[in-house]
Amino acid sequence: MNEVRILYIIVALIFCSCNKEDSNLVETEKVAVADSSDKQIIPVWGKWILRSGKLYMENLETNQKFVYDHFDSTKTTSSLRYSGAMFDIEVIQKDFTTWSFYSGNGGDYGTFILNDSTQNLYALNITQSNWTIIEHPTATVATMQMGGSARPISAYIDDYDNNLVKFYIQEVYESIDGYNVKYFNELVFQKIESW
């Protein structure tokens, strides 16, 4: 009988000591935040406008961390890439850049539209745990907008009452000024249209 109690206590301790997942959840069709009392949801499908942004950088050799604001009172345009934009999706402009997400027809793909440009579409690949902006399935080598690459994104509610969501995009490892660094971007978008 004591062995059963000990086994029960061990199992209980294992379950109680496990790290809980982050309380911020990203669901397939929603940006959601959950806590112990309720669940707030802002559907991702719709149009979003960029309100602010930061670039977070870590020097992998010195372990120094830096945060750069993309915008200030005199700077309204920036780049997701530290050394300057290579693709249209990397150019961001405060209160101008828009991201629009359209649901697919029951599949795992949706459509992503940058700055209302319906001539240059992207696709949104959705899996159970990841979202990725990719080249549109109809793109050819001549019409590719990201050089054939992809941009994984994640999203978390920043301010539920004002429909503000933080999107994380463009995690990069590169050499800057002779140091190996890692950086990513945190962009705050506000939902302005739903569908």
- Cα-flanking dihedrals φ and ψ of residue 109, to 5°? -110, 140
Tell me which of 16-30, 108-122, 149-163 is least confident.
16-30
The residue-averaged pLDDT of 89-108 equals 88
pTM for the whole structure:
0.78
| Residue 129 pLDDT > 80 | no
Count of other CB atoms within 10 angstroms of residue 175: 9
| Residue 34 pLDDT > 50 | no
Determine the distance from the C-alpha atom of residue 192 to the mean position of all C-alpha atoms in its chain, rounded to a whole number: 18
Strand 46-59 and strand 39-43: the pairing is: unpaired
Nearest to 55 by CA among 75, 31, 40: 75
Share of the chain above pLDDT 70, in %: 78
Beta bridge partners of 111: 102, 123
Beta carbons of 93 and 50 less than 8 angstroms apart: yes
DSSP string covering 100-158, please?
Answer: EEE--SSSSEEEEEETT-TTS-EEEEE-SS-EEEEE-TT--GGG-SSTT-EEEEEEEEE
The residue-averaged pLDDT of 148-162 equals 90
pLDDT, residue 10, reads 38
Q: Tell me the pLDDT band of 12, cut-offs 50, 70 and 90.
A: very low
pLDDT, residue 103, reads 86
Beta carbons of 191 and 48 less than 8 angstroms apart: yes
Residue spans per domain, the chain: 22-194
